[in-house]
Chains A and B, each alone.
Chain A
Amino acid sequence: MSFLSRLRRFPFWSWVWFIVGALYFILPLLATFEFSLTWDPAIPFKAYQRSFEDKDFWETFIYSNVLALATILFSILLIVPTAYWIRLRLPEARRIVEFITLMPFVVPAIILVFGMIRIYSAPFNVPFTDIQIMQPLTNFKAGTNVLIISGYMVLAMPYMYRSVDTGMRTVDIRTLTEAAQSLGANWFVIISRIILPNIRSALLSGALLTFAIVVGEVTLASFLGVDAFGPYLFLLGQHRAYEPAALSFVSFLLTWLAMGLIQLVSGGQGQAAGAH
Chain B
Amino acid sequence: MAQTTIKPVKSLAAPTNWKTWLGVVPFFLFAILFLFLPSLRLFTASFSSPDGSFTLDNIIQLVSEPFIVNAYKLSIQISAVTALGGGILGFLMAYSVTVGGLPKPLRSALITFSGVASNFAGVPLAFAFVATLGRQGFITHVLRDYLGINLYDAGFNLYSFAGLSLVYMYFQFPLMVLIMAPALDGLKNEWREAAENLGASTTQYWLKVALPVLLPSILGAMILLFGNAFGAYATAYALTGGRIGIVTIQIGAQIRGDVLYNPGLGYAMAIGMVFIMAISLAGYSWLQAKTERWLK
A residues lining the B interface (CB < 8 Å): 9, 11, 13-15, 17-18, 20-21, 24-25, 27-32, 34-36, 78-79, 81-82, 85-86, 88-90, 92-93, 97, 100, 102-119, 150-151, 153-154, 174, 177-178, 181-182, 209, 212-213, 216-219, 223, 230, 233-234, 237-238, 244-245, 247-249, 251-252, 255-256, 258-260, 262-263, 269-276
> What residue in chain A is nearest B141 (Cβ atoms)?
A31
Q: Are B93 and A17 in contact (CB under 8 A)?
A: yes
What are 12 A-B contacts with C-beta separation under 8 Å? A11-B96, A27-B138, A111-B231, A112-B38, A115-B270, A118-B38, A217-B234, A233-B123, A234-B237, A244-B127, A247-B124, A262-B115
- Distance between B172 CB and nearest chain A CB, rounded to angstroms: 9
Q: Are A251 and B124 in contact (CB under 8 A)?
A: yes
The interface size of chain B toward A, counting residues with CB under 8 Å, comes to 94
> What residue in chain B is nearest A241 (Cβ atoms)?
B136
Is B296 interfacial (CB-CB < 8 Å)?
Answer: no
In the bound complex, how far is the Cα of B71 from the Cα of A221, in angstroms? 24
In the bound complex, how far is the Cα of B230 from the Cα of A89, in angstroms? 38
In the bound complex, how far is the Cα of B131 from the Cα of A193, in angstroms? 49
Specify which chain A residues have a CB less than 8 angstroms from the CB of B34 in the assembled complex. Answer: 116, 150-151, 153-154
Q: Are A119 and B41 in contact (CB under 8 A)?
A: yes
Q: Are A78 and B26 in contact (CB under 8 A)?
A: yes
Is B56 interfacial (CB-CB < 8 Å)?
Answer: no
Our count of residue pairs bridging A and B at CB distance below 8 angstroms stands at: 293
Specify which chain B residues have a CB less than 8 angstroms from the CB of A108 in the assembled complex. Answer: 230-233, 248, 273, 277
Q: Are B251 and A219 in contact (CB under 8 A)?
A: no
In the bound complex, how far is the Cα of B132 from the Cα of A36, in angstroms? 12
Segment at the A interface, from B100-108, B147-155, B190-198, B205-213:
B100-108
Specify which chain A residues have a CB less than 8 angstroms from the CB of B27 in the assembled complex. Answer: 78-79, 82, 97, 100
Take A106-B278, A218-B234, A260-B112 as given contacts and tell me if A248 and B270 are in contact as well, using a CB distance cutoff of 8 Å: no
> What residue in chain A is nearest B29 (Cβ atoms)?
A78
In the bound complex, how far is the Cα of B274 from the Cα of A272, in angstroms? 21
Is B174 interfacial (CB-CB < 8 Å)?
Answer: yes
The residues in B between 215 and 268 inclusive whose CB is less than 8 angstroms from any CB of A are: 227-235, 237-238, 241, 248, 251-252, 255, 266
Take A13-B100, A89-B20, A248-B128 as given contacts and tell me if A177 and B123 are in contact as well, using a CB distance cutoff of 8 Å: no
Specify which chain B residues have a CB less than 8 angstroms from the CB of A234 in the assembled complex. Answer: 123, 237-238
Select which of B28, B128, B266 is within 8 A of A29 by beta carbon: B128
Encode contact with A along B4-41: 1 for CB under 8 Å, 0 otherwise: 01101100100010001101101110110111011111
In the bound complex, how far is the Cα of B170 from the Cα of A13, in angstroms? 21
Take A233-B123, A248-B123, A272-B118 as given contacts and tell me if A31 and B128 are in contact as well, using a CB distance cutoff of 8 Å: yes
Is B186 interfacial (CB-CB < 8 Å)?
Answer: no
Encode contact with A along B114-126: 1 for CB under 8 Å, 0 otherwise: 1111111111111
Specify which chain B residues have a CB less than 8 angstroms from the CB of A174 in the assembled complex. Answer: 12
